[in-house]
Chain A
Amino acid sequence: MRSNLLALLVFAALAAAPILIGGYWTGQLTTYLVYGLLAMSLSLVWGYGGILCFGQAMFFGIGGYIMAVLTKGMILPELTSSYLGLIAAMAGSALFALALGYFLFAGRGISGAYLAIITLAMALVLERLMNNWYALGGYNGLLNVPPIKLTFFGASFELWDRMPTFYAVLAVVALVYLLVSWLLNSTYGLKLTANRTHPDRLASLGYNVLIIRLSVFALSAAIAGLAGAIFVTLDGFASPTLIGFTLSTEALIWVAIGGKEMLLAAFLGAILTRTAESWLSEIFGDYWILILGIAFMISVVLLPKGLLATPLEKLTQGKGRKSR
């Protein structure tokens, strides 16, 4: 109950933010919301699913490229619908996750550090691939990705101006948050928690652990793919950096700082880290990375639940049982 209230407050504050922060920062915040969506997807797979995916940006990038290729009409010039692009981006990322996940989890499966290393390696491979895939722009990426065009009942509207774009993105992010929270509170959340804590005990209760793992991996990938698809329409630009090592690691840091086991904390971790980066890098220049590194270490060593999740949990819990 209290955590719902907290989420409501956070989203209300975000909705009110453009009034206070002006046009430039509203544009920035829109981008951060998309990063927040990526962070949520990582929190879902890592914090709830127990799968440390070190290459979460590959799904972000795949979503981004699919969106760009489709809406630019590079495959079928007649089919440039934004809706189709968004759906294809999510489906494409999810399918890729299913295929990759099958190799990772089938049989005895890979877990822990090995899983992290392999997903990281995959992200690097994809980044190299996109750098050299000239039909998809190669190193330069794809330019002039059109903005999202919303059409309902014949009327259409392009998300070009800052304000409408911000609110549309905020609505999507809030919707995803709601859906995922609902899912985690349902019996699916129970299965995920059981799978995370004692996967070995689930099989004798009739569960195919592979299916649970694949489902959460694919769902998380679909959300990351959605984030990537929205992202390329904001900048109008899809490049290999979206898919690779740097963004993957950054997302990991946001989620670790925020708190991987709390969707809202992970989301805020991304937004606050990016906001802090914008301010602090102006003041401290490159030394900003040092501050980020220290915050990350504090989070990992002293507050493993996350710098944000620890106080937020205190707020929402009061007394009673741990939230899941």
Chain B
Amino acid sequence: MLEIHNLSSGYGDAMVLRDFSCQIDTGKVTALMGRNGMGKTTLVKTIMGLIRAKSGRIMFDGTAIEKQPTHQISRNGMGYVPQGREIFADFTVTENLRLSLLGHEGGNVLTLQQIYDWFPILKERAEQRAGTFSGGQQQILAIARSLIGGPKMLLLDEPTEGIQPSIVHEIGVQLKRIAHETGLSILIVEQNVDMVRTLADEVLFMENGAIQERCDINAMRDDDSLLHRYLSV
């Protein structure tokens, strides 16, 4: 689904990712773990075209996307749930969802009803302003907003940041269900071990701008040493 070859990216002259390569499989949930400052968000933003790659290649579903503008990457089927959620606080739930629908007009979009079936809380609060929501509800909205555009792949950047554990679990379970039902590929950047255990099929550990280790989720369940090494937990 997503193949990255020798990618270099960063801010100005400071390169965060150097010769980064990895592959994300179709229909799988892949978690990217690592300490702060290891280049996880930089990677996600570079995939999304929000940071321009200095060199290297990003192939998404057979298309090279590293030179495409962000809106084109989004229209190609890359959903993005940014760190900090970035929903439109002054808009209602419906307006937030409609905005994403309109942005993907002509594409393979979902219906509002489909989203409401997955996340009933959004239906209950359809006309409420998103700014009045709790962090967890905003996160659900941010994910739903991305899903309604009918992405082939979803990029989630630290979706559990600042959210209470019960909702974290709920989001994890629901996303897992959606991924299995629809065959959606997910790349999730996360430091929350519970979320990764709930959701992921496979885990990549990142350090100093490169993938150091790759393991199956079951292997990680049995053995904590990787978590100790790469997250210091």
Contacts and interface: CB of A to CB of B under 8 A. Distances in A.
Interface residues on B, range: 20 to 34
A190 B48 contact: no
A322 interface: yes
A203 B71 contact: yes
B95 to A, nearest CB: 6
A207 B91 contact: no
Given A194-B91, A198-B88, A203 B98 contact: no
B102 A203 contact: no
A205 interface: yes
Interface in A225-251: none
A319 interface: no
Given A204-B48, A204-B82, A205-B74, A194 B69 contact: no
A288 B124 CA distance: 56
Interface in A160-212: 187, 190-191, 193-194, 197-198, 201-209
Contacts of A209: 71
B70 A203 contact: yes
Contacts, number: 59
A207 B102 CA distance: 9
Contact of A205 (B50, B69, B99): B99
Contacts of B107: 206
B99 A203 contact: no
A226 B48 CA distance: 41
Contacts of A208: 69, 71
B151 to A, nearest CB: 10
Given A206-B104, A207-B71, A321-B129, A201 B91 contact: no
A215 to B, nearest CB: 14
Interface in B53-72: 69-71
Contacts of B149: 205-206
A100 B91 CA distance: 31
B74 A187 contact: no
A201 B88 CA distance: 9
A191 B74 CA distance: 16
A304 to B, nearest CB: 17
B86 A206 contact: no
Contacts of A204: 48, 50, 70-71, 74, 80, 82
A62 B113 CA distance: 49
B37 interface: no
A79 to B, nearest CB: 39
B90 to A, nearest CB: 7
Interface string A305-324: 00000000000000001100
A160 B99 CA distance: 47
Interface in B80-104: 80, 82, 86, 88, 90-91, 95, 98-100, 102-104
Contact of B74 (A190, A203, A321, A322): A203
A285 to B, nearest CB: 45
A191 B95 CA distance: 10
A322 B100 CA distance: 22
A214 to B, nearest CB: 14
A275 B94 CA distance: 43
A193 B80 CA distance: 21
A198 B99 CA distance: 13
B28 interface: no
A321 B94 CA distance: 14
B69 A203 contact: yes
Interface string B38-60: 00000000001110000000000
Contacts of B48: 204
8 contacts: A187-B98, A197-B90, A204-B70, A206-B100, A206-B149, A207-B71, A207-B103, A322-B90
Interface of A: 187, 190-191, 193-194, 197-198, 201-209, 321-322
- Rank and list the top 8 A-B pairs by shortest CB-CB distance, nearest first: A206-B103, A203-B70, A205-B103, A206-B74, A204-B80, A206-B104, A203-B71, A207-B103
